[in-house]
Amino acid sequence: MMNAIAFLGNSTMRPSKCILRAFTRLSPYRDTPFQSHPSRFPSFINRNINANSNKFSKPRNAAPFCTDRPSSVTTAQVVSEARTTSASTTCTHDQIIAKNGLNVKKPLTVEGLKGDDEKAEEKVINGDDKSSIDRDDLEGVKRNEIEEEAWRLLRESVVTYCESPVGTMAANDPTDTTPLNYDQVFIRDFVPSGLAFLMKGESEIVRNFLLHTLQLQSWEKTVDCYSPGQGLMPASFKVRTLPLEEDKFEEVLDPDFGESAIGRVAPVDSGLWWIILLRAYGKITGDYSLQERIDVQTGIKMIANLCLADGFDMFPTLLVTDGSCMIDRRMGIHGHPLEIQALFYSALRSSGEMLTVNETSKNLIKTINNRLSAISFHIRENYWVDKNKINEIYRYKTEEYSTNATNKFNIYPEQVSPWLMDWIPESSRCGFLVGNLQPAHMDFRFFTLGNLWSIIASLGTPRQNQAILNLIEEKWDDIIGHMPLKICFPALESAEWHIITGSDPKNTPWSYHNGGSWPTLLWQFTLACIKMGRPELAEKAVTLAEKRLQADRWPEYYDTRDGKFIGKKSRLYQTWTIAGFLTSKQLLRNPEMAASLFWEEDLELLESCVCVLTKSGRKKCSRAAAKSQILI
């Protein structure tokens, strides 16, 4: 029953008179990690339920085990304000602004989101005095206009819940009559929006987002009679409006944990992004009280516990199904895809930084540190390829049976396909981390987000990180082309496309997830370039994007090998395209802020890797071996 009740309460939260109603399906009592926190909010909950006994009904504990959504929906009532209990009322509206007759979000006014600083300095746009910059520079004026439009669109995409901003919808195209779930707030899509707002000094929306999604984490969720692990964050949520008596409405948050999503994909990355954004919130606002809250600490622990749970796996990396991240359709990335590993690594690093050290957290922190060392060693050692390594794989012996095997994963040299031999630059200054690694399977495709995020999180060695950027520079036409940046390279074609994507008509060669170009990746590229001291590379990419994004109406993705066309099925006015662009601009203007968003090499972690490995008695596990991992 506890997990049917989530609680948002803090004296620093904006006073609200809403009762937050949550759809939830309750399943029978299970032995879950959540039960190790039986008193997540004990005193608050009891106090509030008692204080409002006339308004709160106890969540039912004996709901049917497996039922369909509409009939199984019960209402768990949750209070948004711990300390404003006496006057709680249901959040109702007389009028809801509807979009295409489907949408229940009410766009927030620009004023509603303006930061204090901004109100005081209306004339200053994005840190520059509008009246003095680029006065005679038409190009500059145009650039400002593009940025202003982007800000306007970003603000228009804001979703409110009980009159507070809680996120941004994935796309906001007024002409789109079938938005599917693009009118929802996606956790991963909100990250660049959140960063753009934070860097602009508008933190309220991010704080609300973090707290409301935390609330959703505690819900029971069921897909075909099975409940995924506690701690899972939804892929997205929607603010729904339910009619009450007369002309009144009440708002409810309705999450999608994959039970409605196309393909029923598990959003493994959502919780990881949540942790990353929570850390960014603290770093940028300087308000660390949010991450110190007991409910937030519990949220971090639940995500970490879920990811760190023991399984059958032989690798320290996280084993996931296809479609569990930004690429949320079948694309042959099940197993140990780089993107998830890089996010996992950063989320663990963030958790290590944010968890309050005490008796209840010390074992978890130790587990986190051990896992971090193991992941970084595993990725640096086994995912890295450059020309020499590929040549080594090309000459691999196979079927080696011993702990000393060179070809540990039994990769057959035939997997080194002709495209790779042509594509990999001659110079050892260029290289990249492969997309996936498991027994007899090395996915040599270049996945951009995983590689960029490995740079940002220092998952790669300093030399590897630099070499990834060198590769992107060297392969500019392939990765950037007409529009930054290609989601992966190369595309799956012909029989491979049939077999691996299941003949997905959206993921045809050089479209969408299959080699399409996604402008949202610009902000991660910018952050990686700034980290490696190469902002000029990012400037070049941003300038390129700037030339087309506004004119093309901010598409979700582009098609063709060099990103020339707006994607066949691409949404327009895609929020993370807009936010990614704005975030890149802000990062380039404020490199010191960028510095608070990435991670430097942690030598202590690598030292502990030496110890772990030394104990296991493997030959390679010397201090020198680990040092070489640090310094190369």
Rounded (10°) CA dihedral 273, 279, 284, 287: 130
Q: Is 330 in the site for ligand GLC (CB under 6 A)?
A: no
Q: Which residues contact 423 (CB under 8 A, 6 or more apart)?
A: 475, 478, 490
Minimum distance from CB of 236 to ligand GLC (Å)?
7
Number of H helices, E strands in the chain: 24, 18
CB nearer ligand GLC, residue 56 or residue 190 = 190
CB 560 within 8 A of CB 497: no
Which of 37, 188, 336, 486 forms a contact with ligand GLC (CB under 6 A)? 188
The site string for ligand GLC over 209-248 (x = CB under 6 A, - otherwise) reads ----------------------------------------
CB nearer ligand GLC, residue 480 or residue 578 = 578
Q: Name the nearest CA neighbour of 613 among 403, 405, 418.
A: 403
Minimum distance from CB of 338 to ligand GLC (Å)?
16
Which ranges constitute the DSSP H helices of 37-137?
A: 42-51, 69-72, 110-113, 116-120
Q: Is 339 in the site for ligand GLC (CB under 6 A)?
A: no
CB 413 within 8 A of CB 456: no
Query: Among the candidate windows 119-127, 182-190, 206-214, 582-590, which touches ligand GLC by CB under 6 A?
Result: 182-190
CB 453 within 8 A of CB 412: no
The site string for ligand GLC over 288-327 (x = CB under 6 A, - otherwise) reads --------------------------------------x-
Minimum distance from CB of 600 to ligand GLC (Å)?
28
Q: Is 328 in the site for ligand GLC (CB under 6 A)?
A: yes
Query: And the tokens for 454?
Result: 């490995």
Query: Among the candidate windows 90-98, 184-192, 240-248, 292-300, which touches ligand GLC by CB under 6 A?
Result: 184-192
In whole angstroms, give the CA distance from residue 35 to residue 359. 18
Query: Among the candidate windows 61-69, 132-140, 186-194, 544-552, which touches ligand GLC by CB under 6 A?
Result: 186-194
- DSSP class of 491: -
Residues 393, 395, 396, CA angle at the centre, nearest 5°?
Answer: 60
Minimum distance from CB of 191 to ligand GLC (Å)?
10
In whole angstroms, give the CA distance from residue 462 to residue 472. 16
Q: Is 189 in the site for ligand GLC (CB under 6 A)?
A: yes
CB nearer ligand GLC, residue 170 or residue 239 = 170
CB nearer ligand GLC, residue 41 or residue 209 = 209
Q: Is 186 in the site for ligand GLC (CB under 6 A)?
A: yes
Query: And the tokens for 166?
Result: 């809680």
CB 471 within 8 A of CB 431: yes
**Site for ligand GLC, residues 379 to 438, rule: CB under 6 A:** none
# of chain residues touching ligand GLC (CB under 6 A): 6
Q: Name the nearest CA neighbour of 521 among 119, 295, 191, 39.
A: 191
Minimum distance from CB of 183 to ligand GLC (Å)?
10
Query: Among the candidate windows 181-189, 193-201, 401-409, 540-548, which touches ligand GLC by CB under 6 A?
Result: 181-189
CB nearer ligand GLC, residue 344 or residue 384 = 344
Minimum distance from CB of 167 to ligand GLC (Å)?
12
Minimum distance from CB of 325 to ligand GLC (Å)?
7
Residue number with the smallest Cβ distance to ligand GLC: 170
Which of 5, 79, 170, 355 forms a contact with ligand GLC (CB under 6 A)? 170
In whole angstroms, give the CA distance from residue 48 to residue 483. 53
Question: Please, what sign has the CA dihedral across residues 185, 191, 192, 198?
Answer: positive
The site string for ligand GLC over 590-619 (x = CB under 6 A, - otherwise) reads ------------------------------
CB 276 within 8 A of CB 191: yes
Q: Is 173 in the site for ligand GLC (CB under 6 A)?
A: no
Minimum distance from CB of 479 to ligand GLC (Å)?
19
Minimum distance from CB of 261 to ligand GLC (Å)?
8
In whole angstroms, give the CA distance from residue 108 to residue 209. 15
Minimum distance from CB of 328 to ligand GLC (Å)?
5
CB 59 within 8 A of CB 26: yes
Query: Among the candidate windows 7-15, 161-169, 183-191, 497-505, which touches ligand GLC by CB under 6 A?
Result: 183-191
CB nearer ligand GLC, residue 330 or residue 380 = 330
CB 93 within 8 A of CB 241: yes
In whole angstroms, give the CA distance from residue 598 to residue 389. 28
Q: Is 147 in the site for ligand GLC (CB under 6 A)?
A: no
User: Residue written as tokens 């359709």?
Assistant: 329
State the greatest distance between any 2 C-alpha atoms of the chain, in Å, as a whole number: 76
User: φ, ψ for residue 441 (rounded to 5)?
Assistant: -145, 115
- Stated length of the chain: 632
Pairing mode of beta strands 446-447, 488-489: antiparallel
Minimum distance from CB of 434 to ligand GLC (Å)?
21
Report the interface residues with ligand GLC, using CB under 6 A: 170, 186, 188-189, 326, 328
